[in-house]
Amino acid sequence: MKYTAITIVSFTFTSVTAFFPGFPGYAPPKAAQSNFLSEQIEVGTMSLSPLGFGTLNLPLDKTQDDANALDVMKTARAKGVNFIDTAEAYGFGKSESLTSWAAEEAGFTIGAAGVEDGCYIATKFAPVPWRPGAESVVQACQASAQRLGVDSIDLYQIHWPDIIQPLKSIGIEKRKDEQYWDGLAQCYHQGLAKNVGVSNYGPTMIKRAHKALADRGVPLVSNQINFSLVRYQSSLETIKVCEELGIQVLAYFPLGNGLLAGKYDLNDKSTLPTFPKSITMKKYLKGSQTLLQEVQTIATTNNVSCAQVSLNWIMKKGVIPIPGCRNGAHALDNFASLDFVLSEEEVERLDVASMNSMEFSSGGFELE
């Protein structure tokens, strides 16, 4: 990955539930350059800010959607955040339409490389069982492009490996990953997608996808995974392989479903999520106290929020975090992680605390 001077963008997500029912031998991912916040990251044909945002967390209530999405977009543009991630699975395509509308209303120019106030929008194909193969990817890409109001999508990704196998319990499993990769290649060669990527791919799958696409003359530019201070050890091998192959890692759930944002307190029930999520959150809060205390200490030292420390740590690893943003205020807090730089000593302290913390396994996929 190359780095050239510039600034940054970020986005948010909406629900995917309708679509789907430790490596101690590896060295930690290398830290980015100390002045990384003033640089853009070259990913395929895109020049991305070191931080983006996802649209999953925008509310589904129509009365709130437009205003919140527009506030997030305006905040992103003001902070130089130029990378927005969405998916057809978020609100059955609604998120894509909302994202495009809000970006343009906020003054962004979608997919305009090198243009001031340009932004890049990434979206994803949902590999559900009733989609038979390559043509499904092409058709879905065309539909997403229409909802986004573009002729060619900046970054088109496969949302997860073909792991939803309804008949697996009776011994029947038919994976269509190869066909989906062929579909990605067709989207690229037909000009429907400027760049292609994958999501939730582990070391084995990322190597296979990289080779399959390379054989078709297509560069695989990104892999989006669940990565954070509470999802560190299990991601190391995947990140190592991606670095070796020149694939940019994008991090969803960079705040561990809110665990790293400093908003939950074991001693204050009013801060905890509702049942049954509260049971899971209590477990991880208890298992992550040393890490959370370290995050808080570093946040206090730098006069920043816990969320900003957690996001800055990810950027120091050369990974692009894409936190969800519910509204403009939430976005502003996340984007302020661009306004300071953790010291190498602080990064090392967080590494150690993370390695000794309970691994967060709620949400996302197990990488294969």
280-287 long-range contacts, Cβ below 8 Å, gap at least 24? 280/362, 281/257, 283/358, 284/230, 284/256, 284/259, 284/358, 284/360, 284/362, 285/259, 286/358, 287/357, 287/358
Question: Which of 3, 26, 90, 264 does the annotation list as catalytic?
Answer: 90
Q: Please tell me the distance from the alpha carbon of residue 159 to that of residue 16, in angstroms, as a whole number.
A: 10
Q: Over 222-285, what HEC string results?
A: EEEEECECCECHHHHHHHHHHHHHCCEEEEECCCCCCHHHCCCECCEHHHCCCCCHHHHHHHHH
Q: Over 79-100, what HEC string results?
A: HCCCEEECCCCCCCCHHHHHHH
Helices (H), 44-89: 62-79
Residue in the block written with tokens 């990251």: 41
Q: Do 288 and 259 touch, CB atoms closer than 8 A?
A: yes
Residue 219's SS3 state is coil
Q: Please tell me the distance from the alpha carbon of residue 255 to that of residue 186, in angstroms, as a whole number.
A: 35
39 beta partners: 5
Residue 13 CB neighbour total at 10 angstroms: 25
Residue 45's SS3 state is coil
Catalytic, 90? Answer: yes
Query: Catalytic positions, please?
Result: 90
